[in-house]
Amino acid sequence: MKRKNSWNSKRTPEYVAYYNAKGRCENSSRKCFSDYGGRGIEFRFTSFAQFLAEVGLRPSPHHTLDRKDVNGHYEPGNVKWSTRTEQNLNMRLRRDNISGFRGVSPTESGKWRARLTIAGREKTLGVFSTPEEAYEAYKKEAKA
């Protein structure tokens, strides 16, 4: 005998992503709540059907749910499926970041170093006079 679709739909990768994103924003007993709901990030989908219509089926097992704007809400227009590499490039800045730019750090000589890490390997992109120049080099390499 076949099980009902409602039970099967809750076991799909799409439903698991929906359920987990909702929990990160709404369940204060979750360990990661402070990084989502605790920062004011809301889950604004009213149903699984609305969510699925927005993001579609997961393209591959290597994709996970991502927000285009990491400081934005889980809402239509701000969610997509991304690979690990894409998600690593779409992270909020660390609290100890002093340049204000991802991948840019000061050198001892007062200049700014641009670095990019992909698949665990760090690549130095150069040393620049300003953090803005270093970030431009970072963005150019990150898109390549």
pLDDT 10s digits, 111-121:
999 998 877 78
The structure's pTM equals 0.66
Where exactly are the structural domains of the chain?
Answer: 5-88, 104-143
In three state form, how does the secondary structure of 103-141 look?
CEEECCCCCEEEEEEECCEEEEEEEECCHHHHHHHHHHH
What percent helix, strand, coil does the chain show, rounded to 5?
35, 20, 45
- Whether residue 112 contacts residue 128, with contact meaning beta carbons closer than 8 Å, is answered with yes
Q: Flag whether pLDDT at 132 surpasses 70.
A: yes
Q: Flag whether pLDDT at 85 surpasses 60.
A: yes
Q: Flag whether pLDDT at 108 surpasses 80.
A: yes
